[in-house]
Each structure stands twice: as structure tokens, then as C-alpha cells.
């Protein structure tokens, strides 16, 4: 319980100036931030509520669809534009959390959610470089069944938890970030950062900046896209492994492929090696398996999470096979 104050922003400009104060945090659905405040991991002095901002539109724009950052997960998941143009995004959202959480949580907030690593969430007895830089990582040789095999470092192997972030990273989405100096645009695949030696820095959003929208460009591999999530129980659980995949196939040949992996990496993992291994090939289980092998070559197991390397491969092969359908 840390005292904080609270303002409800009416305009984006007001939100930015309130949110630029030291120790200020934006709050939208609050499904992650409030939880982390209860754990004591997040201790903002000021909460700036952005729920009233007019940022919840979902619309067709030139070259793609634009989703306002304040749109709720449930609204985006069921929106006809999203279902038609980017089915992987809808599927990723519907595989996330629970209906109640999806009704509350925003798209921008979803991309900003933080890891479920137990050591990150535990203040009193666990070291964590992300929460307390330099204190060490208890996960690397600890309870790491859920941890990342891709993109880890000696400092951190915490898994990025979002499903949506994986889908938008795969589909070349672009985020609009609004700050004191106006808008800038960042590719979704580049937005989240590898932990390296600074696991506390998780993304390319400057203090005081706000995600205002997500643009998903039209493409054949976006229209033909899917999201497959594997988990222990059938719903309401973070991924053990997931794959967002998009394919453009014509004349029996893969012309373009978009792939990102979730549940196995420290950030939404755009799988460039796998994509490269597919282009120009005829879809088949063997080709998909080779692509998965190519991507997972750099994976590093840490004991309990070693199974994720094989599981990720099989998840990707399954997602691609299902998407290719009769073509595989």
C-alpha cells in the first residue's frame, strides 16, 4: 500500500502533461497495473487515468486498419474489420486472459503488460534484475518452467506475457506513440526490447509518452493469418508456447510468411529465420519443421523450461500446417 494521487485526463494533451511528471503512470483497464501495485512492484506517486480519451475507434484507413489504443480487447477481438483483415489478432485476443479481463483491458495496456515471472512479482525474498537492477536473477537456476528459451541473457529470462503483442509483431503492425513532442511511429516488432544487461528497460516508450493507436497494414499474409496458443489448461492461462503465423501462398508456393512466437521468449519473438526458410518453398510438414528448427537454433534451455524448445517447434509446425490447410 503506497499512497498515490489520481487524475482523470479528458484530453490527450492533458494526459501527456500529467503523465510526464516523475513517478506518474498511465492507467487504462488497470488489469495489470493495479495487480502490480498490490504486489508492491509498481509504486506510482501519480495515476493518470486515460479511459476518457477518445482513442477507442477501430477503423479502416489507407492501407490497413487502425485500432485505437483505448479499444477494449473484447471489442477488438469481435470487430468485423479485425476478423476479416487480421484474424490472428482476433484469435490472439480471444486466447488471452478471461472474458472479464478482456472487457476491461485496453489494447495499449495489453502491449505494456509486464512479465508474470514469480521472482519479479515477489518483493520481499527474491532477487530480480528487472525489478531491482543488479540484485540477480533467481529464475535462471530456479523455478523456470514458464520462462523464456529465446532472447534471454545472464540477467533475465522472464517471458513476455502478451498474446496480442505476438500477433502484431508478426503482422508488421506499427504503433503510434504520442508524447510532449508529438507523434512518432515504431514497428511493433521493435517496440519491445531484449533484456540484455538492462532488463528493467522493456520497451521503446519514453516516460510521458502514450500509445495512441496500432496500425495493421493490409497484406495477403495478414488476411491469411492465425494464432495458436498452447497451455496447460483450456482457458485463462499464459502461453507455454504460441505462434502467430501469416502465409501468402499461390501456385503451390509460399510467397511471403510472417511468424512470431510467444510464451518462449523475453519479447514477442519475430521469427525471421523461420520466415526466410519458408519463402519460395512449397508448403509441407517437412518445410515447416525445417523453418521451426532454423528459428529455435538459438534457443537456450535452463532446466525446467527445456521442453519449450521442442514444444515451440511443434506449435509452429501445427500453426503453419493448419493455416496452409490443403496446401500443406
Partner 1 sequence: MIPNIGKPLDRVDGRQKVTGGARYATENKLDRVTYAALVDSTIPAGTIKSIDVAAAKKAPGVLAVISHLNAPKLNPPPPPKPGGGGEQSSSLTESKYLPFSDGTIHYLGQRIAVVVADTLEHAMHGAELVRVTYDAAPARTDIEKYRGEAKDRSQQQPSAFTKGDADAALAGAAVKIDQIYRTPHEHHNPMEAHGLIAAWDGDHLTLHDSSQNIFAVQRTFATLFGIPKENVHVLSPFVGGAFGSKGGVWPHVVITAMAARVVGRPVKLTVTRKQLFFANGHRPQTEQRVALGAGSDGKLVSIIHEGFGQGNEVCSFVEGFTAPTRVIYASPNMRGFHHVVDLNLPSGTYMRGPGDSTGMFALDSAMDEMAYALKIDPLQFRLINHADQDPMSGKPWSSKSLKECYARASERFGWSRRTPEPRSMRDGRNLIGWGMASANRPAHRAPCSARALMRADGTVTVSCGSHEMGMGTATVMSQLAAETLGIPAERVRFEYGDTKLPTAPISAGSLTAASVGSAVFGAASELKRKLGELAGTDPASLDPNNYTAILRQHYLDHIDAQFDAKPPMEDPYSSHAFGAHFVEVAIDEDIPVVRVRRIVSAFAAGKILNEKTARSQCYGGIVWGIGQALLEQTHLDTKLGAFTNVNFAEYLVPVNPDIQSIDVILVEENDPHINPIGVKGIGEVSIVGVVPAIANAVFHATGKRVRDLPITVEKLL
Q: Nearest distance from residue 196's CB to partner 1, in Å?
A: 24
Q: Any contact of residue 118 with partner 1 (CB under 8 A)?
A: yes
Query: What part of residues 223-282 is at the interface with partner 1 (CB under 8 A)?
Result: 230-238, 240
Q: What is the DSSP letter of 274?
A: H
- Polymer length in residues for the chain: 328
Q: Nearest distance from residue 125's CB to partner 1, in Å?
A: 4
Q: What is the DSSP letter of 203?
A: B
Q: Nearest distance from residue 121's CB to partner 1, in Å?
A: 8
Sheet of 64-68, strands arranged across: 58-61, 64-68, 210-217, 174-179, 182-187
Residue closer to partner 1 (CB basis): 57 or 307: 307
Query: What part of residues 305-324 is at the interface with partner 1 (CB under 8 A)?
Result: 306-307, 310-311, 314-315, 317-318
Residue closer to partner 1 (CB basis): 142 or 179: 142
State the Cα–Cα distance between residues 249 and 255, nearest whole angstrom: 6
Burial class (CB in 10 A: 0-12, 13-18, 19+), 32: buried
Q: Any contact of residue 3 with partner 1 (CB under 8 A)?
A: yes
Residue closer to partner 1 (CB basis): 2 or 62: 2
Q: What is the DSSP letter of 134?
A: T
Q: Nearest distance from residue 256's CB to partner 1, in Å?
A: 25
Size of the site for partner 1 (CB under 8 A): 36
Beta-strand (E) ranges in 204-307? 210-217, 225-230, 241-250, 253-262, 269-270
Q: What is the DSSP letter of 202?
A: -
Residues lying near partner 1 in the complex (CB under 8 A): 1-3, 40, 116, 118-119, 121-122, 124-126, 138, 141-143, 145-146, 230-238, 240, 306-307, 310-311, 314-315, 317-318
Amino acid at each position: 500500500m503506497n499512497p498515490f494521487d489520481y487524475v482523470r485526463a479528458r484530453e490527450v494533451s492533458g494526459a501527456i502533461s500529467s503523465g510526464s511528471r516523475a513517478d506518474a503512470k498511465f492507467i487504462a483497464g488497470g488489469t495489470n497495473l493495479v495487480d502490480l501495485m498490490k504486489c508492491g512492484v509498481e509504486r506510482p506517486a501519480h495515476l493518470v487515468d486515460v479511459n476518457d480519451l477518445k482513442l477507442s475507434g477501430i477503423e479502416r484507413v489507407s492501407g490497413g486498419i487502425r485500432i485505437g489504443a483505448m479499444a477494449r480487447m473484447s471489442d477488438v477481438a469481435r470487430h468485423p474489420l479485425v476478423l476479416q483483415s487480421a484474424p490472428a489478432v482476433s484469435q490472439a485476443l480471444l486466447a488471452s486472459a478471461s472474458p472479464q479481463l478482456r472487457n476491461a483491458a485496453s489494447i495499449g495496456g495489453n502491449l505494456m503488460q509486464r512479465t508474470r515471472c514469480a521472482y519479479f512479482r515477489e518483493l520481499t525474498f527474491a532477487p530480480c534484475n528487472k525489478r531491482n537492477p543488479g540484485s540477480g536473477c533467481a529464475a535462471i537456476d530456479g523455478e523456470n518452467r514458464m520462462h523464456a528459451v529465446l532472447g534471454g541473457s545472464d540477467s533475465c529470462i522472464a517471458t513476455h506475457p502478451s498474446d496480442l503483442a505476438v500477433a502484431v509483431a508478426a503482422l508488421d503492425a506499427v504503433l503510434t506513440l504520442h508524447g510532449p513532442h508529438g507523434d512518432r511511429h515504431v514497428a511493433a516488432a521493435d517496440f519491445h526490447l531484449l533484456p540484455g544487461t538492462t532488463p528493467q528497460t522493456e520497451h521503446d516508450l519514453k516516460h510521458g509518452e502514450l500509445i495512441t493507436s496500432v496500425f495493421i497494414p493490409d497484406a495477403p499474409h495478414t488476411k491469411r493469418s492465425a494464432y495458436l496458443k498452447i497451455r496447460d489448461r483450456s482457458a485463462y492461462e499464459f502461453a507455454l508456447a504460441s505462434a502467430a503465423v501469416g502465409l501468402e501462398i499461390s501456385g503451390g508456393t509460399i510467397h511471403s510468411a510472417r511468424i512470431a512466437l510467444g510464451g518462449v521468449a523475453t519479447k514477442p519473438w519475430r521469427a525471421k529465420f523461420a520466415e526466410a526458410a519458408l519463402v519460395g518453398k512449397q508448403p509441407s510438414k517437412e518445410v515447416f519443421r525445417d523453418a521451426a528448427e532454423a528459428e529455435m537454433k538459438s534457443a537456450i534451455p535452463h532446466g525446467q523450461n527445456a521442453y519449450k524448445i521442442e514444444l515451440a517447434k511443434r506449435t509452429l509446425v501445427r500453426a503453419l500446417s493448419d493455416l496452409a490447410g490443403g496446401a500443406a
